[in-house]
Structures are given as structure tokens and as C-alpha cells.
């Protein structure tokens, strides 16, 4: 946009000494342009304004003309080029606005200059750049002339409208958004400024320009106190901006602008617009840094956002924080963010689980499985065998503690399978189990069934599981229950009979074996575990297949 | 869950259902977790509790072995009990 500047400068030669002023009037001048026009129309300036207009009108397509009165300036604005001229014109107009007729005369001579230093300050400062703030201020300053404005505004409105309408068709697509007459010019100028400041962010540039346009419009509107006109033009510009498909920036800027329709909010709008614009460049710049995101997230995002062109938006949001998010308001970004968060949490969970799995693997002896499922299987088996082993030992110790005589020779030792177990073992185990099994259902059988039971047990020896259940009745009570001496006597008898039988107590090969045996034997477990045991052991009654199973598993 | 298949290519080709099943089995074995509501217990918790339980069982077995050893010393080495104890300790 600054290509116009040189021209502006030229204008300055005759008009304003301050080059900056040329720029400023662009945006600030917009409202003032309108006002100025009115003044001109109303006052002596008319002629001059006419002149001005004529000046501008001649090259309507060329400049964006701030100089031209609102209506015409609008048309001019649409033209990208002559900001300078516009500024010059604006300044002129501005001058007119603020200046009295006297001023205007001076203004005539110094189109840009006059108005004064005040105007120059206001406009020039704003135009020049850093100025968005200044422009706001300027606008505010401009607003200080409500009286003039309102009148001018009212008049301007139709003029503006007309101007806008007229300017639309010829407006190049880029400028479409800047329909609002002179405002457009200013906005365009700003947008250009922004674009430059952004430094080549193509994406943001148009958006920023749009946003700027929108902002400016709103600002201008406010300053001019034209609530009606403002929204109209502003809405138009907003619509146009959105048409360009600028999802984030323009929309947001429009939104911001819309939010503050009041005149007093111009400064805020300006600021917000700036924020928006800056944010958009930020977004685009952020998009250039996808590496910042963890690769996993990127993978996930790619899947989701393949269709979305907003990948960078997401990154931007992620980096810039909530501001962008709010600005965007697009569900895709929110969704992607949620998905990213989910992925992160999922990954953390997985890591935790893997860590626990490794720890578990270390605890399991001879675990050479790398597969998680098999490792878990082994863990389960090992855990069961450990539990069994502990139970067996506890039971044995209990037996021992009860009295040496009570200790069954045929300690349910595990390894051997049912078939291998002789009657003695079966008996022994039965006794063992009976003793430790509070669940024994037939304690009453103890009394008379010792011998017969033994015989039966012997008979049933091979079927290990069965005797286990049957035997219990014989010795029945577990150590805790051995209050009945007769029962214990029974046991002793049983044991005694068993003594003859060489204890072929099973050898505890290893926890697994023991585990297997335990299944077979239905080892009596401590009382507190009895409840649990039966659940697992009962199915063991149908031993055959299970024993084989256990055996096989035990031998791994 | 799907990420497991895709991301963990080297370690696990198994499905998550298998894991869930195994974890549930473990859960039933470990007394601490058994009483809790199964659906609320996360896998990591189950694994953690399993490790703890195994460690405690190890300690218990060691302790019992110690006792058995002591017992073995007190009884007749030729007795059946001694044999049993020896077998128990041999594990």
C-alpha cells in the first residue's frame, strides 16, 4: 500500500508537510472524510470538496482515495493503490472537518497540512502504523466532534451507502471487504500495513487485511457515531471478509467488531483486531512448527485432520493458548485438541501398564515370555502356585503344631498325580484335607467311619479328588475344630493305619508342580481361604482333565 | 486400545480383550483387588497389586521355609514329617 505513499508525498508537497499525516488520514480520515464532506457541502468548502472529489474521481480506479468524500472515497478505497492520495484527501477532508472555514481556506492551500497539527497528529500517527492504537485514539479524538459528526454522519450515511454501492462493482476482489467507503481505504491501508508487518504470511495477510478492514470499518463507524451506517458497512465488510473464507481471522475480527458496536469501543476493537491479526500470523507461523507437537499427536491429528486445512490452526491454538481457540471457534480444532489430550493420557496409561508388566515379569521365575498375554498367563499360574504353596506350608505347620502325631504322613505334596498316588497318599491327603477343611460337610461321619473310610479311601485312592472330599469326613474337623477328641482319635487311627504305608508324600518340585498338585489334592487351605479355595477346587473334582492340564502346565 | 495394536508392534500382537481377561483373572487371585468393584479397577492397578501380592507371597514362603527348616531340625530326620518338610523347602 505504500506504493501510494510516494504519491502521497507528492501531495504533501503541496498539501501536507507531514508525510505521516498522509498515511494517517487514511484511516482516521475515513470518518472524517465523511464529515469533511458534509462540511464542505454545507460550507464554503463545497467547492473545494468538489474539487477534491473531482480530483479523486478522475482516477477512481487508481487510488483508494481518502481524499474523496465518503461516497467517492469509498469507491476509491476499494482501489488498492492510492493510499497516499487517500491520505492526502483524507487529510484534506479531515482538515475540513475539524477546521473551521478559515481553516479550510488554509486547507485549500495545504490540503494535507492544515488541519493542523492536531489532525496530523491524529491521523498521521495513526496512519503510520504503530498506530493502530493511535488511530484508535485519533478516532476517539475524532469522536470529540460529535456535533459535527452526527450531522455529517447522517448525511454521510446515504452518501456512504451510495458510495459503497457504487464502489462495489469495481472493487477488486481483494478489496471487496473494504466496501465501506473511505473507511475501506483506511482499512486497506492498515491491512497492507499488517501484511507487511506480518512479513509474508500469505495466509494471514489476506485475513489480516480483512480483519483490518473490518476493524477499521467498525472503528470508523464508531467514531462517526453512525450506528446505523456503521453496522451496515461493517456487516458488509464482515460478510465479505468471511466470504473470503478466512476462517479464523476475519471471522474473529468481525466478531470482535460486532461485539463492540458502541462508539466507545473503537479503541478496543482496534486492539482486538490487532490481536486477531497478530494471532493469525502467529497461527500461520505456528503451523510452521509442527515439530513442536509430539509425533504421536501429529500422527493422530493427521488422521483426523487430513481433510482439515487447519492443522496449523490447531498447532497455533495449542501454542497460543485459549485466545486463538476462542477466536477460531471451530469444532475441528476443539476436537483435535481433545483428541490430542486423550492420546496423551492414553499414552501415559499405557506406559504405566508396561512398567508394571515389566516389574511383574521380574518377579516371575523363569519367565522368558515377551508376549504380554503369555506373560500374564504365566503370572497367573505362578501366582496360583505361590498361593498354593503357601497354603500347603501353612497347613503343614499347623499340623505340626497340633502335634507330631497329627501330622499326616501323606502330606498332600503335589507333584504326583492322582494315579501315582497310592491309597496311602489318598488317605493321607484326605486326612490332611479333612483336618484342615472346615467346610467338611460330614463331620459326623468321623466317628464311625474312620476305618471304613480309610478303606474306602484306599479304595478310592486312585481317584484322588474323590477321596479328598470323602476323606474329610473322616478326620473331618480341621485343627481349629479339633476339639472333639474322638475325632482326633479317629484321625490318629487313620494316621496310624497309614503309618504302615510308606509315606510317598509327593515331592514339591516347584511352585508350579505344587500348584498342580494342589489342584489335585484340593489342599485344605487356611480357613480364611477356604471359601476361595472351594470355588477353585470344586471344579477340580473332575480331576482327570484338569490334572492332565495342570500336569502339562506344570511341566513347562 | 487400537493404539496398542498399531504402536506396540514388537511386544504384543494380542488383543486387548486378552489382556482384559488376564487382568480379570489376576484380579480374582489377588485378595486385595478381589473385593473391589472390578469395573473400576484399572489395569495398572491390578498389575501393581499383583506385583505386591507376589512379593508378599514370596516373603511368606521364605518365612515358612524358615520355619520348616527350624522344624526339620527339631524332629527326627527320618520321620515322615521331615521328609515332608524337606520337600516343602525344596520348592
* Angstrom distance (rounded) from CA A278 to CA A270: 12
pTM of the model: 0.33
Amino acid A159: pLDDT: 44
Give the minimum alpha-carbon distance from B40 to chain A in angstroms, rounded to a whole number. 15
Of A296, A360, A372, the CB nearest to B12: A372
What are the C-alpha distances in Å from A306 to residues A202, A284, A302?
21, 17, 5
Please check whether residue A546 is in contact with residue A453, taking contact to mean a CB–CB distance below 8 angstroms: no
Give the minimum alpha-carbon distance from A367 to chain B in angstroms, rounded to a whole number. 14
Give the minimum alpha-carbon distance from A497 to chain B in angstroms, rounded to a whole number. 14
Give the minimum alpha-carbon distance from B5 to chain A in angstroms, rounded to a whole number. 12
Is the ipTM reported for this complex over the cut 0.85? Answer: no
* SS3 per-residue string spanning A305-328: HCCCCCHHHHHHHHHHCHHHHHHH
Q: Note whether A407 contacts B48, CB cutoff 8 Å.
A: no
* Angstrom distance (rounded) from CA A231 to CA A242: 15
* Angstrom distance (rounded) from CA A77 to CA A175: 8
Give the minimum alpha-carbon distance from B74 to chain A in angstroms, rounded to a whole number. 11
A528 touches chain B (CB under 8 A): no
* Angstrom distance (rounded) from CA A266 to CA A226: 12
Contacts of B41 in chain A (CB under 8 A): none
What are the C-alpha distances in Å from A243 to residues A78, A173, A248, A307?
16, 10, 12, 20
Please check whether residue A44 is in contact with residue A36, taking contact to mean a CB–CB distance below 8 angstroms: no
A511 touches chain B (CB under 8 A): yes
Of B11, B19, B64, the CB nearest to A390: B64
Please check whether residue A187 is in contact with residue A64, taking contact to mean a CB–CB distance below 8 angstroms: no
Please compute Rg for chain A using Cα positions: 47
Tell me: pLDDT of B83 over 50. Answer: yes
Amino acid A60: pLDDT: 44
* Angstrom distance (rounded) from CA A25 to CA A521: 101
Amino acid A344: pLDDT: 93
Of A384, A393, A510, the CB nearest to B64: A393
Q: Note whether A373 contacts B22, CB cutoff 8 Å.
A: yes
Q: Note whether A397 contacts B64, CB cutoff 8 Å.
A: yes
Q: Note whether B47 contacts A370, CB cutoff 8 Å.
A: no
Of A350, A386, A404, the CB nearest to B54: A386
The average pLDDT across B44-54 equals 79
Q: Which three cell numbers stand for residue A123?
A: 491521523
Task: Give the CA-trace dihedral at A445, A447, A451, A453, to 10 degrees.
Answer: 10
Contacts of B30 in chain A (CB under 8 A): 383
Residue with the three cell numbers 447522517:
A154
Q: For chain B, how long is the longest CA-to-CA vector?
A: 62
Please check whether residue B3 is in contact with residue A350, taking contact to mean a CB–CB distance below 8 angstroms: yes
* Angstrom distance (rounded) from CA A482 to CA B78: 27
pLDDT tens string, chain A, 556 residues long: the values are 555 555 544 444 444 444 444 444 444 444 455 555 555 656 565 555 555 554 444 444 444 444 444 444 444 545 545 555 555 455 555 545 555 555 555 555 555 544 455 544 555 545 555 544 444 444 444 444 444 444 444 444 444 444 444 444 444 444 444 444 454 455 445 445 544 444 444 444 444 444 444 444 444 444 444 444 444 444 444 444 444 444 444 344 434 444 344 444 444 444 444 444 444 444 444 444 444 444 444 455 444 444 444 444 444 444 554 555 555 567 788 889 999 999 999 999 888 888 888 888 888 887 777 777 787 788 788 888 888 888 887 887 777 777 655 555 555 554 444 343 344 444 444 444 444 444 434 444 444 444 444 444 444 444 444 444 444 444 444 444 444 444 444 444 444 444 444 444 444 445 555 555 445 544 444 444 444 444 444 444 444 444 444 444 444 4
Q: Note whether A411 contacts B91, CB cutoff 8 Å.
A: no
Amino acid A343: pLDDT: 93
Of A296, A349, A371, the CB nearest to B14: A371
Amino acid at each position: 500500500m505504500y506504493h501510494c505513499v510516494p504519491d502521497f508525498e507528492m501531495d504533501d508537497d503541496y498539501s501536507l508537510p507531514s508525510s505521516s499525516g498522509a498515511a494517517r488520514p487514511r484511516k482516521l480520515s475515513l470518518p472524517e472524510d465523511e464529515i469533511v464532506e458534509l462540511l464542505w457541502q454545507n460550507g464554503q468548502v463545497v467547492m473545494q470538496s468538489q474539487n477534491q472529489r473531482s480530483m479523486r474521481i478522475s482516477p477512481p480506479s487508481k487510488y483508494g482515495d481518502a481524499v474523496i468524500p465518503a461516497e467517492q472515497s469509498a469507491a476509491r478505497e476499494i482501489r488498492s493503490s492510492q493510499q497516499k492520495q487517500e491520505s492526502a484527501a483524507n487529510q484534506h477532508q479531515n482538515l475540513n472537518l475539524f477546521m473551521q472555514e478559515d481553516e479550510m481556506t488554509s486547507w485549500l492551500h495545504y490540503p494535507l497540512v492544515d488541519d493542523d497539527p492536531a489532525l496530523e497528529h491524529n491521523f498521521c500517527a495513526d496512519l503510520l502504523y504503530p498506530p493502530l492504537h493511535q488511530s484508535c485514539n485519533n478516532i476517539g479524538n475524532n469522536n470529540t466532534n460529535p456535533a459535527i459528526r452526527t450531522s455529517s454522519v447522517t448525511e454521510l450515511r446515504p452518501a456512504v451507502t451510495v458510495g459503497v454501492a457504487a464502489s462495489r462493482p469495481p472493487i477488486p476482489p481483494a478489496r471487496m471487504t473494504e466496501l465501506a467507503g473511505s473507511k475501506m481505504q483506511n482499512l486497506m491501508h492498515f491491512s497492507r500495513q499488517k501484511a507487511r508487518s506480518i512479513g509474508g504470511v500469505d495466509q494471514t495477510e489476506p485475513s489480516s487485511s480483512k480483519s483490518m478492514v473490518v476493524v477499521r470499518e467498525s472503528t470508523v463507524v464508531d467514531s462517526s457515531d453512525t450506528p446505523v451506517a456503521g453496522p451496515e458497512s461493517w456487516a458488509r465488510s464482515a460478510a465479505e471478509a468471511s466470504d473470503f473464507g478466512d476462517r479464523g481471522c476475519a471471522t474473529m475480527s468481525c466478531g470482535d467488531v460486532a461485539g463492540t458496536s458502541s462508539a466507545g469501543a473503537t479503541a478496543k476493537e482496534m486492539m482486538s483486531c490487532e490481536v486477531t491479526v497478530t494471532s493469525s500470523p502467529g497461527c500461520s507461523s505456528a503451523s510452521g512448527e509442527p515439530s513442536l507437537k509430539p509425533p504421536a499427536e501429529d500422527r493422530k491429528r493427521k488422521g483426523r485432520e487430513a481433510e482439515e486445512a487447519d492443522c496449523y490452526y490447531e498447532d497455533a491454538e495449542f501454542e497460543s493458548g485459549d485466545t486463538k481457540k476462542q477466536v477460531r471457534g471451530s469444532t475441528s480444532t476443539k476436537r483435535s485438541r481433545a483428541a490430542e489430550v486423550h492420546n496423551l493420557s492414553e499414552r501415559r496409561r499405557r506406559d504405566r501398564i508396561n512398567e508394571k508388566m515389566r516389574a511383574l515379569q521380574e518377579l516371575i521365575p523363569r519367565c522368558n515370555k515377551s508376549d504380554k498375554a503369555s506373560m500374564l498367563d504365566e503370572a497367573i499360574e505362578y501366582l496360583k502356585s505361590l498361593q498354593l504353596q503357601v497354603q500347603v506350608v501353612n497347613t503343614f505347620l499347623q499340623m505340626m503344631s497340633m502335634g507330631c502325631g497329627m501330622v499326616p504322613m501323606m502330606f498332600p505334596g503335589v507333584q504326583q498325580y492322582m494315579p501315582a498316588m497310592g491309597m496311602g497318599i489318598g488317605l493321607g491327603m484326605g486326612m490332611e484335607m479333612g483336618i484342615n477343611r472346615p467346610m467338611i460337610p460330614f463331620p459326623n461321619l468321623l466317628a464311625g467311619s474312620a476305618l471304613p473310610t480309610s478303606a474306602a479311601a484306599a479304595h478310592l485312592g486312585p481317584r484322588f479328588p474323590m477321596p479328598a472330599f470323602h476323606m474329610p469326613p473322616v478326620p473331618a474337623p480341621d485343627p481349629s475344630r479339633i476339639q472333639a477328641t474322638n475325632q482326633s482319635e479317629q484321625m490318629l487311627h487313620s494316621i496310624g493305619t497309614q503309618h504302615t504305608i510308606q509315606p510317598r508324600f509327593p515331592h514339591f518340585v516347584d511352585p508350579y508342580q505344587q500348584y498342580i498338585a494342589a489342584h489335585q489334592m484340593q489342599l485344605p487351605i487356611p480357613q480364611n481361604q477356604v471359601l476361595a479355595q472351594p470355588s477353585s477346587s470344586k471344579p477340580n473334582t473332575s480331576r482327570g482333565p484338569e490334572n492332565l492340564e495342570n500336569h502339562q502346565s506344570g511341566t513347562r | 486400545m487400537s493404539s496398542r495394536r498399531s504402536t506396540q508392534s514388537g511386544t504384543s500382537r494380542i488383543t486387548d480383550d486378552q489382556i482384559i481377561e488376564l487382568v480379570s483373572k489376576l484380579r480374582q487371585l489377588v485378595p486385595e483387588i478381589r473385593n473391589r468393584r472390578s469395573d473400576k479397577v484399572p489395569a495398572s492397578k491390578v498389575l501393581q497389586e499383583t506385583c505386591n501380592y507376589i512379593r508378599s507371597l514370596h516373603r511368606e514362603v521364605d518365612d515358612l521355609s524358615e520355619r520348616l527348616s527350624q522344624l526339620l531340625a527339631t524332629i527326627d530326620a527320618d520321620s515322615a514329617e521331615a521328609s515332608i518338610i524337606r520337600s516343602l523347602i525344596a520348592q
